[in-house]
Copies of this chain bind each other. A is one copy, B any other.
């Protein structure tokens, strides 16, 4: 299914990847990542200009990199070519020293492999692969291990596991994570479930592996750091990038009291732009805070005036607006 041109590119990237890991270490993914939103015009076309503007502004923060085509990027609403074009544009405008982690998960193993290879071709440094989930009743450890092993075997770039039960109704079982952590091309995991006891258990049971865990939300970022996670993919970083990076710094330098104070003030705005109001809430907050948010693609609807007001309170009552 993959033509010769693709595989040539893959080999090239593979060798680049290998040269980066001369000591046999896996890629280090520690740090903070905003999961970039996809801006749309009023006609629901991808607005690449606004995407670039947002990236320029986000590029000024000390992020480790950007997650492109994560759940926050409305990836299920984009065509395959849009998914690749967005990643390609981000690659062009983002700072060279940062990582581009692209979401490449699809339902079938084969499509995921193909999307993964394509993401590598258009410039992704790593892929983040959401669990297949439509047939979640059959997605047991054996099926998930088979899926991720195949993807990681064939991916020219490192693979990050991605578990987000609020969207998928499915968690990667801990035993499956432990098995997969031993794969040379699986470097870590983003866990968005919010169960920090589970995150800690994964840290504990993969402690002899070269495997890193990222929190999937700023809501439990401090707790995740305290338990051994190395960073986070945080929707809120799209609007409060400085603050999320400051929280990282406070945790990494052991200033836990100050970290706690800041963490608490981020809880409500974070819940507002994730669980409570979703991407429409995040985009509205972006509009307020100097970025381009704009509309979502249907069927996601904009906020009602009442919801918008509640969103504003979640920011203002914590001093962010």
| Contact for A196 among B77, B143, B150, B220, CB less than 8 A | B220
Binary flags per residue of A162-199, CB closer than 8 Å to B gives 1, else 0: 00001111000000000000000000000000111100
CB distance from A26 to the nearest CB of B (A): 21
Query: In the complex, how many angstroms separate the beta carbon of A74 from the nearest chain B beta carbon?
Result: 8
Q: How far is the CB of A136 from chain B (nearest CB, A)?
A: 7
* Residues in chain B near residue A135, CB distance under 8 A: 71, 76, 167, 278-279, 300
CB-CB under 8 A from A147, the residues of chain B are 298-299
Number of interface residues of A (CB under 8 A): 63
| Binary contact readout A272-298 vs B (1 if CB under 8 angstroms, 0 otherwise) | 000100111000000000000000011
* Least CB separation from A297: chain B residue: B108
A77 to B147, CA, bound (A): 13
- With a CB–CB cut-off of 8 A, which chain B residues contact A76? 107-108, 132, 134-135
Chain A interface helix/strand/loop/mixed: helix
Residues of B within 8 A of A136 (CB): 167
In the assembled complex, which residues on chain B have CB atoms less than 8 Å from the CB atom of A110? 44, 77, 297-298
Residue A231, interface by CB 8 Å: no
Return A115 CB to nearest CB of chain B, in Å. 12
| Contact A109 B267, beta carbon cutoff 8 Å | no
Fill in one digit per residue for A61-101: 1 if any B CB lies within 8 Å of its CB, else 0: 00000000001000011010000000000000000000000
Stoichiometry, as copies per complex, reads 4
A59 interfacial by beta-carbon distance below 8 Å: no
Query: Nearest-CB distance from A284 to chain B (Å)?
Result: 13
Say yes or no: A299-B167 contact (C-beta < 8 A), given A71-B134, A196-B196, A227-B264: no
0/1 interface trace, chain A 208-228, chain B, CB 8 Å (1 if under):
000000000101101100111
Are B263 and A150 within 8 A (Cβ)?
Answer: no
- Indicate whether A242 reaches chain B with its CB closer than 8 angstroms: no
A213 vs B101: C-alpha distance when bound (angstroms): 38
Q: Is A48 an interface residue (CB 8 A)?
A: no
Inter-chain contact A226/B228, CB cutoff 8 Å: no
A301 at the interface (CB under 8 A from B): yes
What 4 A-B pairs have minimum CB-CB distances, sorted nearest first? A76-B107, A109-B298, A223-B223, A147-B299
Q: Which residues does A use to contact B, with CB under 8 Å?
A: 44, 71, 76-77, 79, 107-111, 132, 134-139, 142-144, 146-147, 150, 166-169, 194-197, 200-201, 203-204, 207, 217, 219-220, 222-223, 226-228, 254, 256, 259-260, 263-265, 267-268, 271, 275, 278-280, 297-301
Pick 25 A–B contacts, CB within 8 A, sort by A.
A76-B107, A76-B108, A76-B134, A108-B298, A109-B297, A109-B298, A110-B298, A134-B168, A135-B279, A138-B278, A138-B279, A143-B299, A146-B298, A169-B169, A196-B196, A197-B217, A197-B271, A200-B219, A200-B264, A200-B267, A204-B267, A222-B226, A223-B223, A223-B227, A227-B264
